[in-house]
């Protein structure tokens, strides 16, 4: 009895059904997603096996038996199982940990270590900016502070005095106030603070999706696009719609940061809201770094290589689930239908055969995406 089943469903009902991207290094698993609707039931969605248009659903424990996986991918499976990693954030941490060991090669190890270091710096900088925003809003004299003030003894002393006074007005002990601000900064670090130097990777992707949509529409209008024009238009539409639905949670997070006094007191409730918004953004943007990287690698190539890249981008597109689309649902229905018609296995645009050279080029740049 086969352990794999084929599915033609392109518009998932929930994030859990859609699954999270897993950056495997085994070529045939390049577009794999892992989903878990039950802690005891983890499975992988593998599109385009044997040239089919369907997506195969394979139990996690069967994956190593069905595919000749790299040592890195087997180690990643073990790490994700050990940590019960099912969300984009947890899978990313597991991936970085495994890649930093060198199992995916020296380039991937260097990239993983750089990303981990950058994430730590991002958290630190975000925490400092959150404290500065708090000082701007909570200081009785509306005294001006900048991040560099928090790095000098005199600046720390002034900031501590202001926060002590603010804590007394809000009936929060100083250390508790500092702990809440630190937690706030750590939670929103992947998004970062608006209008500051602490811009996180999520906010950058949000901005890049607007540009990607514009570029894809321009490319689709070119005479070279030919039969790949609908693919480019689909990428543009999904990028635009994802950017649109992500705007509200980002706006809510930024608005909360502009009203610290209102949200810092009922911290238990605020913490839950912040975490929920950040988790949602993590799912909204999951997989888009891969799509963006494909185009970044191809935009300076000759047109037929760009066609191949656009086809691959369609295969990697992450649709926002039905449960998250409160408005413009008709648009998402159209997108899911269009994707069902257009998604196909990685193949040469003019031959219909598997393009091994393109597959290997895509694997080469995946090391910088982890």
Q: What is the DSSP string of 220-231?
A: HTSTTTGGGHHH
Calculate the CA dihedral of residues 281, 287, 293, 299 and round it to 10 degrees: -100
Given this model, what pLDDT does residue 253 score? 97
More confident position, 316 or 217: 217
CA distances from 12 to 65, 226, 240, 299, 323 (A): 27, 30, 18, 30, 9
Size (the chain), residues:
370
pLDDT band at 55 (very low <50, low <70, confident <90, very high): confident
> Using an 8 Å Cβ cutoff, are 261 and 138 in contact?
yes
- Percent over 90 (pLDDT), the chain: 47
Q: Which of 116-120, 204-208, 212-216, 256-260 bottoms out in mean pLDDT, i.e. has the lowest?
A: 116-120
Closest of 292, 190, 198 to residue 250, by C-alpha: 190
Given this model, what pLDDT does residue 104 score? 81
**What is the overall mean pLDDT for the chain?**
84
Given this model, what pLDDT does residue 50 score? 53
Given this model, what pLDDT does residue 142 score? 64
Q: Which of 22-26, 54-58, 291-295, 326-330 bottoms out in mean pLDDT, i.e. has the lowest?
A: 326-330
pLDDT band at 181 (very low <50, low <70, confident <90, very high): very high
Instruction: Name the DSSP letter for residue 42.
Output: E
Given this model, what pLDDT does residue 341 score? 63
> What number of CA atoms fall less than 13 Å from residue 344's CA on the CB side?
15
pLDDT of 52 > 90? The answer is no
Element (H, E) at 56: strand 55-59
Can you tell me which residue has the tokens 């602490």? 198
More confident position, 210 or 86: 210
pLDDT of 51 > 80? The answer is no
**Number of neighbouring beta carbons within 10 Å of residue 169:** 10
Under 8 Å CB-to-CB from 200, ≥6 apart: which residues? 122, 126, 188, 189, 190, 191, 192
pLDDT band at 190 (very low <50, low <70, confident <90, very high): very high
CA-CA distance, 69 to 110, in Å (whole number)? 22
CA-CA distance, 45 to 60, in Å (whole number)? 10
Among 17-31, 140-154, 172-186, the range of highest mean pLDDT = 172-186
The per-type count for the chain, helices as H runs and strands as E runs, is 15, 5
List, for residues 224-267, the tens digit of each pLDDT value.
Answer: 888 889 889 999 999 999 999 999 999 999 999 999 999 999 99
> Using an 8 Å Cβ cutoff, are 58 and 66 in contact?
yes
In angstroms, the first-to-last Cα distance of the chain is 35
CA-CA distance, 128 to 147, in Å (whole number)? 6
The alpha carbon dihedral of 224, 296, 315, 239 has a sign of negative
Token code pair at residue 252: 């809510």
CA-CA distance, 41 to 59, in Å (whole number)? 8
More confident position, 322 or 215: 215
């Amino acid at each position: 009895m086969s352990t794999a089943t084929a599915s033609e469903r392109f518009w998932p009902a929930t994030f859990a059904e859609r699954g999270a991207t897993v950056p495997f290094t085994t070529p045939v698993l390049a577009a794999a997603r892992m989903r878990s609707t039950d802690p005891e039931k983890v499975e992988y969605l593998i599109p385009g096996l044997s040239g089919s248009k369907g997506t195969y659903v394979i139990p996690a424990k069967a994956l190593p038996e069905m595919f000749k996986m790299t040592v890195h991918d087997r180690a990643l499976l073990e790490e994700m199982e050990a940590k019960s990693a099912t969300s984009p954030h947890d899978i990313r941490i597991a991936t970085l940990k495994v890649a930093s060991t060198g199992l995916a090669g020296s380039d991937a190890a260097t990239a993983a270590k750089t990303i981990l270091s950058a994430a730590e710096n991002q958290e630190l900088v975000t925490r400092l900016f959150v404290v500065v925003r708090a000082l701007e809003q909570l200081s009785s004299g509306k005294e001006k502070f900048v991040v560099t003030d928090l790095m000098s003894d005199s600046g720390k002393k002034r900031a501590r005095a202001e926060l002590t006074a603010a804590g007394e007005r809000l009936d929060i002990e100083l250390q508790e106030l500092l702990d809440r601000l630190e937690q706030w900064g750590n939670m929103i670090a992947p998004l970062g603070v608006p209008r500051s130097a602490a811009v996180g990777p999520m906010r950058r992707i949000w901005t890049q999706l607007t540009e990607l949509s514009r570029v894809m529409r321009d490319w689709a209008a070119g005479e070279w696009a030919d039969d790949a024009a609908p693919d480019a238009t689909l990428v543009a539409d999904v990028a635009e719609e994802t950017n649109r639905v992500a705007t509200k949670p980002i706006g809510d997070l930024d608005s909360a940061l502009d009203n610290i006094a209102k949200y810092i007191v009922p911290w238990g409730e605020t913490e839950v809201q912040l975490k929920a918004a950040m988790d949602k953004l993590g799912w909204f943007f999951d997989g888009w770094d891969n799509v963006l990287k494909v185009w970044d690698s191809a935009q300076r190539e000759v047109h037929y290589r760009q066609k191949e890249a656009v086809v691959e981008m369609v295969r990697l597109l992450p649709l926002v689930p039905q449960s998250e689309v409160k408005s413009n649902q008709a648009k998402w229905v159209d997108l899911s239908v269009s994707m069902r018609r257009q998604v196909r296995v990685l193949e040469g645009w003019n031959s219909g055969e598997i393009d091994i050279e393109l597959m290997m080029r895509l694997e080469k740049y995946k090391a910088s995406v982890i």
